[in-house]
Amino acid sequence: MYVFLAFGASVNGFPFMRKVVVVDGTFLNGRYKGTLLTALAQDGNFQIFPIAFTVVDTENDDSWHWFFTQLKLLILDDEGLAIISDRHNSIGKAITNVYPLASRGICTYDLYKNILGRYKGKDAFRLVKKAARCFRMSDFTQIFEDIEAINPALHGYLQRADVRLWDACSFPGREGRVTAARDLAVQRIDDHHTEVKYGSSGESLHVVNLVERKCTCRRFELDKLPCVHAIAAAEYRNVSRISMCSPYYTSNYLVSAYAESVMPVDSAQPVPELVANQRCLPPTVRQPPGRPKKNRMKSALEVALSNKRPRKEHTCSRCRQSGHNAKTCPM
């Protein structure tokens, strides 16, 4: 019924990734039908790193539970592990049963496209994206209250989606900040802690611990990259801001992740008789009712982007040509 595949190169390269695994499923449309389940990670260069693949008959409780059971042989359950997916109920059940220590999160891309398909209003949608990226509970609470005031139905939907699964501030589990760090006021507290605030007014006070790599804004802890407050504190204490980055983002880890190659089949390598005599057939799938679809169904986000009007090209008010304005017009 099921088949699980993971290349040794991927298994040995995963320890050099952040402990964040994204799982998803998709239909197979070739000669042999079924559903492909995947487990992916992201390397230090923010590129997709494949871990494992599984072919099953369909997405249900049994198939996802079997998938995570096999995945657990490669990636052990850990409190520092985060598993990201859509809101499929079978995935949630399987993670709870197989990975009880890991944290589960839902993909904000799927959340956004569901919102675009069900609810109207650009202002509310912008607030949802802003809320998802909040790192402090106080900031999130304020934005979430604004969403309730603008669109109570959307607020209820987000609550049913379980806020803890999609907002950054509840989840346990960017170098343009350097310029902004120079505008911060820094003061030493003790050997480990540093106070950082905006100017002499004392607004947005934060405390940074460079030894434990933590900041009260929580970006430093979750991103594994120094936040603007940590950068300011590091500059004040003459500590290299690069040294504050997690080793997962270093070139050494990136090279080590791809150190091994996926080798072709070696005919000289003996295959166990049990495996050689085992017939591997495609899963038995049920033909859905109705005429088979030939075109891929677009998501609500893709439809919204395709219907978006292109930005009007600016033209010169003097000569009506593009590429310049009236002030720089050669006429």
pLDDT per residue over 268-292, tens digit each?
788 888 888 888 888 888 777 777 6
Considering the entire predicted model, what is its pTM?
A: 0.67
Residue 68's pLDDT band (boundaries 50, 70, 90)? very high
* Residue 91: per-residue pLDDT: 93
**Over residues 13-36, mean pLDDT:** 89
Q: Strand 35-42 relative to strand 214-215: parallel, antiparallel, unpaired?
A: unpaired
pLDDT per residue over 74-98, tens digit each?
999 988 899 998 888 899 999 999 9
Residue 17 has pLDDT above 60, yes or no: yes
CA dist., res. 179 & res. 193, Å (int): 22
**DSSP-based three-state secondary structure for 5:** strand
* Residue 174: per-residue pLDDT: 45
* Residue 301: per-residue pLDDT: 60
How many other CB atoms sit within 10 Å of the CB of residue 224?
16
Per domain, the residue ranges of the chain are 3-106, 110-165, 177-251
pLDDT per residue over 146-180, tens digit each?
888 888 888 888 888 777 777 776 665 445 566 67
CA dist., res. 175 & res. 253, Å (int): 19
Distance of CA 20 to the CA centre of its chain: 8
Sheet with strand 103-106: strands edge to edge: 3-5, 48-56, 35-42, 20-27, 82-85, 103-106
Q: In percent, how much of the chain has pLDDT > 90?
A: 25
| Residue type for position 282 | P
**Over residues 303-321, mean pLDDT:** 72
Among 164-168, 234-238, 252-256, where is mean pLDDT lowest?
164-168
Residue 49 pairs in a beta bridge with 41
